[in-house]
Amino acid sequence: MFDLSTLNPPQREAVSHTEGPLLVLAGAGSGKTRVITCRIGHLLDKGVPAENILAVTFTNKAAGEMKERVRELVGRQRCKGMVISTFHSLGVKILRRDIERLGFKKNFSIYTTSDQLGLIRQALREANIDGKKHDAESMLWKISGWKNRLLRPEQVVPRYQDEDELLACGLYPRYQSALKACNAIDFDDIIMLTVALLQEQPEVLDHWQERFRYIMVDEYQDTNSSQYLFISLLARKYRNLCVVGDDDQSIYGWRGADVGNILDFEKEYPGCRVVKLEQNYRSTGMILEAANQVIRNNRTRKEKRLWTDAGDGRPIDLVVALDDEEEATAVVERLEMERYRHNLSYGDFAILYRTNSQSRAFEEQLRFESIPYVLIGGMQFYERKEVKDALCYLKVIDNPLDEQALLRVVNFPRRGIGDGTMVKLNQWSLANDCPLLEAFGRVAEIDGITEPTREKVLAFHRLISGAAAEFRQRGELAGRVKALFDRLGIEDELYRTIEEPAIARRKVENVEQIINSMASFEERIPGATLSGFLEKVSLMDEDRFSGKDKKEHGRDAVTLMSLHASKGLEFPYVFLVGLEEELLPHRKSLDEGVSLDEERRLCYVGITRARQHLTISRCVHRKKYGKLQEREPSRFLAEIPERLLQLHDGTAKKTVSAEEQEKLAGDFFARMRAMLE
């Protein structure tokens, strides 16, 4: 039998309440996974058959860990017949039994993204539609969005009267017919078809309702509308539904998660029991108080206040740097100081940021100091496609013989130089023993190329040759790079060809960071040249294949990751960087009506990742396209009480008098108070 006395009172209440709906509001670090696993053990002790228990979570990793913890708690034998899975794995299980009712065979295939794109391209060809003008990825993204809203082809009404939207609407039924002809479904179909099966086939619904009489859902704040309906159908008969989550950690609205599912649970299930888990077993009192003070400003939330009996801990360090390069230097210096002072490992530290483009300065500084790091949830900065594409222009300008770089950029952005023309240019350059770029300039001598195409080839040659002449002049490298990228229209191309605005915005920010990196290189290196900058980048890339690469990707390495990627993790020492308006909160929440509440929840998540100590940093100025621009401190920073913060000016190496430090603190906190008034 499971001993309930090992749980604190709210945990014990959540575990003991087994009949009827239950909402467990589990604050960060409050032991929610323990509650779920113990609740399963308690159900088994009460005599509930294992096959009547269902636990659902979001990732295979989380499901696997939950299974293992339940097995350790109750033994492997008692778990037989129990289902602990992701939403999609559960959907596949249901479809394998009864998908024939929807016109598919039981041995259906689940198509990967590449399989899906193949079907989309086939549909485009059959409709005689130019696949270069209307790319398959864009069409598939639109169809996926419709499926996640449970919209079948006949239910779709284009929201925008643009060509791509109308085209995708026409392709959707063709695509679904092609899938069915192959007895295949895609990833989005799994939930959509499962919901359709349960809605349209009462006997199927009854079977699974009888099978799963006790249902638990983890991370309920992250469910979207289709997942919500899926679980609601299964739980409708017995109403023994326990959902566990934290509305204060709902940070995935951009991918369809609806925080309203957890906020409105009590309306959907009148009379449900609500249990709040507020005792935190992770962080110090000062860290928790900062988190509480920030999140309390959200307009719509379930009231809860994290607390701990582990003591207050140290005040939160606040580093105010002159610019983003000094911010990176200051963070790395303080990281090293903490490591030596407390005899820590590099793996005890994490640097968290709002946008992946912010990683560039920290990556460069860590490499400069030979500190191992691992980048989570993204490629290293100089490995990102848009960064490589932009750098290849600089490589061709610096070295016109670099034909690999030339081939990469000749149609980025698209300029109408087709594959056939490139074959002719390449063959002519080989036959005449001249570099490929020179062949571009002599295109008039090449047969079989139309006059309009020749003009496009010559225009590209003039662009590269003109830029090369400009870069041979000394100084103003960052300004020349910005002018080149503007002339090329790289930003416009990314927004035009990438359907999802958030992804396009991140890629534009990454290209912007190349200019910022160039500006910083010029500041550090007197007489800096384009060749020198490209050499620095190449050597950084080469480091990945050196002996220290193994160390970087081992356990003893600093973790760099976005706030979105950090959810569910914890670190002894956390650096939460870039707390400025337009970064956190991100400018999209200010300019585009995106939820400011969700940005505040991101900040809350970042603060609560820290166990022993938290350092927050912000810049007075930050580079944008290589030029320093003044930055406003984040409104979230203003929401943290002064008594919780220890202010530091710039890098740890700077000496600031006591009088200057007092004046700096007074001015800063006065400004913070003014923001709140």
Distance CA 676, CA 672 (A): 7
Give me the catalytic one of 11, 116, 194, 249: 249
Give me the catalytic one of 39, 301, 507, 609: 609
Please indicate whether residue 267 is annotated as part of the active site: no
Distance CA 204, CA 95 (A): 10
Burial of 288 (0-12, 13-18, 19+ CB in 10 A): buried
DSSP β-bridge partners for residue 23? 243, 274
The first and second tokens of residue 310, run together, are: 């582990």
- Longest CA–CA span in the chain (Å) reads 88
Please indicate whether residue 548 is annotated as part of the active site: no
Distance CA 491, CA 506 (A): 11
Answer for the pair 335, 570: CB distance below 8 angstroms, yes or no. no
Tell me the DSSP string of 225-288.
HHHHHHHHHHHTTT--EEEEE-GGG---GGGT--THHHHTHHHHSTT-EEEEE-B-SSS-HHHH
Length of the chain: 677
Distance CA 435, CA 428 (A): 10
Nearest to 254 by CA among 574, 505, 28: 505
From the CB of residue 539, how many other CB atoms can be counted at a distance below 10 Å?
A: 11
Give me the catalytic one of 186, 188, 218, 512: 218
Please indicate whether residue 612 is annotated as part of the active site: no
Please indicate whether residue 219 is annotated as part of the active site: yes
Answer for the pair 333, 649: CB distance below 8 angstroms, yes or no. no
Q: Which residues are annotated as a binding site?
A: 26-33
Distance CA 381, CA 344 (A): 27
Give me the catalytic one of 11, 32, 39, 600: 32
Q: Which residues are annotated as a binding site for ATP?
A: 26-33
Give me the catalytic one of 18, 33, 122, 209: 33
Please indicate whether residue 249 is annotated as part of the active site: yes
- CB within 8 Å of 371: residues ≥ 6 apart: 332, 335, 336, 346, 558
Strands 571-576 and 349-353: parallel
What is the phi/psi pair of residue 273, to 5°? -80, 140
Answer for the pair 327, 617: CB distance below 8 angstroms, yes or no. yes
Please indicate whether residue 86 is annotated as part of the active site: no
Q: Which residue has the tokens 């699974």?
A: 208
Give me the catalytic one of 189, 219, 325, 402: 219
Residues marked active site are found at: 32-33, 218-219, 249, 609
